[in-house]
Structure 1
Amino acid sequence: MSLRLPAGGQIRGQRGLQASQHHKLPHHFIDDYLLLHSSTRCADACAQASGNYNAEVDTGSHTHIDSLGGRPSAHSSGINFAMSGSSLDQTLSFPNSHGERLSAKFVDAGSKDIVIFCHGYASSKNGFLFPRLAEELASRGKSSLRFDFAGNGESEGTFSFGNYFREVEDLRAAVGFARDTLKLNVGAIVGHSKGANVVLLYASRYDDVPHVVSVAGRGIMSRGIKKRLGEDVLQRLDQEGVIEQEASSSSGRRIKYLLTKESVDERMKLDMLGEAAKIQAHVLILHGSSDNVIPVEDAHMLASRIPQHTLCVVEGADHNFRQPVVADMVIQRIAEHLASTVSQP
């Protein structure tokens, strides 16, 4: 079922993407409904953030997740911690399955659960809204871990265009590090853009984290390649098999890498919708209606396949939610969602 909340307070009921009955309800009824149904909380903030932004919320079936057990023990196991900024913010690293060190930031708020963030293409642990989201979660008593995938940011390894399932294994290493070394329960994984696809693929493959947040993820993987790389590059790739390319990181740094036909084919053949249908975790899907990198249609497609989901479409928002009022709203809504669904400290 989905709910659309335009500024006038009208709610349109839907099943999947097919319109059905229409109901016009007073504002106080809508507010009471949203407060009573935590699965639609993101609609409340979307509707109130600004008169220029409406919200569409699609809520699938839901399963209550009980509290995950155990207080964390002391952090140890030979991991090097370096304090930076706030005393809660610790710089560290851990190995992936290939022996590469992955750079990370751990914000220790003293909770027994932790949220892990995954960045997008050519970005880093300090990209998107993740540092601000980590601060907001800490203010609510939630610990978080954000890290650079191999070949990105400050992590070891080689940058690659594809590497979706290799990045899934990097996330697997982060989950294992949080559990085995930090002695914390992983309550949720959050990803933006390519990182959103990574967290969805992780949930499809491993099904051991109860909550997933997908922000601006892609549903049809074959789209967008020609726009990003150019038709001439794809033609050369068919002939030569490998081409030297440059990517611009989120910090503005130019990254030289080898683009291979194998990496492009990996993405082209990835059945994201089929993988989404296997996910048993609850997934919060956030997407901007004015995203010109990944169309909002992809969010609807993912929602149609994921059994337990909440879909929040923010009218007027772009791929990175750059507008200040939207950025603030997204941070608050994700933090509120995680604070209400991931077990309490």
Structure 2
Amino acid sequence: MTILKNIVLERNGKKPILLDVFNSTTEKECPIVVFCHGYKGFKDWGAWNLMAKHFANAGYCFIKFNFSHNGGTIKNPIDFPDLEAFGNNNYTKELDDLNDVLNWIEHNFQDNSKVNKNEITLIGHSRGGGIAIIKASEDSRVKKLITLASVCDFSKRTATIGNLEEWKKSGVKYVMNGRTKQQMPHYYQFYEDFKVNEERLNIKSAIKKLTIPHLIIHGDNDTSVSIKEGENLHKWNPNCELTIIDGADHVFNTKHPWEKEVLSAQLKDVAELIQEFINKKA
């Protein structure tokens, strides 16, 4: 396994993106897996590095990244030193970030015979699941999709961050981060951007358009995103596969920091299900 951490993807006029590449050293061509973190998440959260190693050891090229406005910085990609960036994040920025990551993959692996850039699987956790669904519905480079504890509706979450009139008047709403105790800002631009792009940001419409294989994984003990959201995703596109992980919470019984050398039993089950799904012939 080769590991390249904190690769800086520079972009004209936009904040840079940090990427990690965990690549198998197998002699065969490696499929690519791209992981999208969720709300108040980051690429180095909890057990995500262990999960990346698991996939690299299993013969994949596993790429994870920080969304550009997730609140991390190039020098400090863990936690949220840049709350101003966090407050200026929105769904379309995240879709744009993911597109630039896919472009980076296309450019950087074009002459690499050990990596198959034509076999890209997207994995999205929580809010990142909604982003991955929308991107997969509009980008033919994505061949398979896995969503972990994914949200099914951006509109409810966007409109319920507080009283809209107060939000518009003050320009900002705050959400407490239970772990770091930071007051995380959401500027009113978040709502404005959603309304302008509401049709594109409709997860229900996006999943109905999907024709690629899609695996939905949800824990039955998820108190952050109800299991009903996973069931809704499956209902809207019955061609998807839905798997429920018994006893799993929103992060599959891991936490940050994750100091163990092994995955939780639930996240190990998730990783094995994903491998089986990716390896399955259409």
| TM-score between the two structures when normalised by the length of structure 2 | 0.77
Note the alpha carbon deviations across 1:28-48, whole angstroms, 9 max, x for none.
xxxxxxxxxxxxxxxxxxxxx
**Aligned equivalents of 1:253, 1:216: Cα separation in 2:** 24
User: What runs of 5+ residues in structure 2 fail to find an aligned partner?
Assistant: 75-81, 255-263
User: Does residue 243 of structure 1 match 2:172?
Assistant: yes
Note the alpha carbon deviations across 1:134-191, whole angstroms, 9 max, x for none.
1111111111111000122335992247621221111111111111113341420111
Asked if 2 retains the 8 angstrom alpha-carbon contact of 1:200 and 1:212, the reply is: yes
Q: Residue 189 of structure 1: which of 108, 122, 126 is its match?
A: 122
2:239: which partner in 1? Answer: 308
2:270: which partner in 1? Answer: 330
3-state DSSP of counterpart to 2:224: coil
Q: Residue 56 of structure 2: which of 112, 133, 138 is its match?
A: 138
User: Shift in Å at residue 198 of structure 1?
Assistant: 0.9
1:25: which partner in 2? Answer: none
**Aligned equivalents of 2:268, 2:192: Cα separation in 1:** 35
**Aligned equivalents of 2:191, 2:273: Cα separation in 1:** 35
2:148: which partner in 1? Answer: 215
**Aligned equivalents of 1:293, 1:264: Cα separation in 2:** 25
Percent identity, aligned pairs only? Answer: 20
1:43: which partner in 2? Answer: none
Q: Which has the larger radius of gyration?
A: 1
Structure 1 residues 336 and 117, CA gap change in structure 2 (3 angstroms): same
User: Does residue 122 of structure 1 match 2:40?
Assistant: yes
2:77: which partner in 1? Answer: none
3-state DSSP of counterpart to 2:85: coil
1:148: which partner in 2? Answer: 66
Asked if 1 retains the 8 angstrom alpha-carbon contact of 2:148 and 2:217, the reply is: yes
| TM-score between the two structures when normalised by the length of structure 1 | 0.64
User: What runs of 5+ residues in structure 1 fail to find an aligned partner?
Assistant: 1-85
2:78: which partner in 1? Answer: none
**Aligned equivalents of 1:226, 1:166: Cα separation in 2:** 18
How many equivalent residue pairs? Answer: 252
